[in-house]
Amino acid sequence: MASRRTGAPKVSSEFAKLQLSATAVDLLLLRIVGSRLQVFLLQRTVEPCKNMYAVPGRFVRYDETLTQTADMVLKQKCETGTTQVSYEQLHTFGNDLWRDERIRTISVVYIAKILPTVECKATLGKWFAVDAVPNLAFDHNKLLDFAVVHLQKQIRLGVLPFEFLPSEFTLTQMQESVEAILQKSHDKRNFRKRILADGVLKKTSKRVVLGVARPAYLYSKK
Q: Which helix (H) or strand (E) holds 34?
A: none
Whether 211 shows a pLDDT value over 80: the answer reads no
Average pLDDT, integer, range 125-153: 97
Query: pLDDT value at position 86?
Result: 83
Q: Which residues contact 161 (CB under 8 A, 6 or more apart)?
A: 32, 113, 151, 154, 155, 174, 177, 178, 181
Of 155, 156, 130, 127, nearest to 141 by C-alpha is 130
Cα(135)–Cα(204) distance, rounded to whole angstroms?
A: 44
Give the pLDDT band of residue 9 (cuts 50, 70, 90): low
Q: Which residues contact 96 (CB under 8 A, 6 or more apart)?
A: 139
Query: pLDDT value at position 84?
Result: 76
Query: pLDDT value at position 1?
Result: 45
Neighbours of 134 (CB within 10 A): 11
pLDDT per residue as tens digits for the range 146-168:
999 999 999 999 999 999 999 99
Q: Which CATH class is domain 20-155?
A: alpha beta
Average model confidence (pLDDT) across the chain? 90
Check if the beta carbon of residue 27 is closer than 8 Å to that of residue 87.
yes
Whether 212 shows a pLDDT value over 60: the answer reads yes
Whether 2 shows a pLDDT value over 50: the answer reads no
Query: pLDDT value at position 121?
Result: 92
Query: pLDDT value at position 10?
Result: 63
Cα(179)–Cα(33) distance, rounded to whole angstroms?
A: 11
Query: pLDDT value at position 4?
Result: 52
Domain ranges (residues) in the chain: 20-155, 165-221
Whether 53 shows a pLDDT value over 90: the answer reads yes
Query: pLDDT value at position 8?
Result: 58
Query: pLDDT value at position 152?
Result: 97
Average pLDDT, integer, range 41-54: 96
119: left (phi over 0), alpha (psi -120 to 50) or beta: beta
Give the pLDDT band of residue 98 (cuts 50, 70, 90): confident
Cα(183)–Cα(169) distance, rounded to whole angstroms?
A: 20
Q: What CATH number matches the domain at 165-221, 3.40.50.620, 1.10.620.20, 3.50.50.60, 1.10.10.10?
A: 1.10.10.10
Check if the beta carbon of residue 38 is closer than 8 Å to that of residue 130.
yes
Cα(178)–Cα(215) distance, rounded to whole angstroms?
A: 22
Buried/exposed code over 83-104 (b: 16+ C-beta within 10 A; e: otherwise): eebebeebeebeeeeebbeeee
Query: pLDDT value at position 3?
Result: 47
Q: Which spans in 62-205 are helix H?
A: 66-72, 140-156, 171-182, 188-197
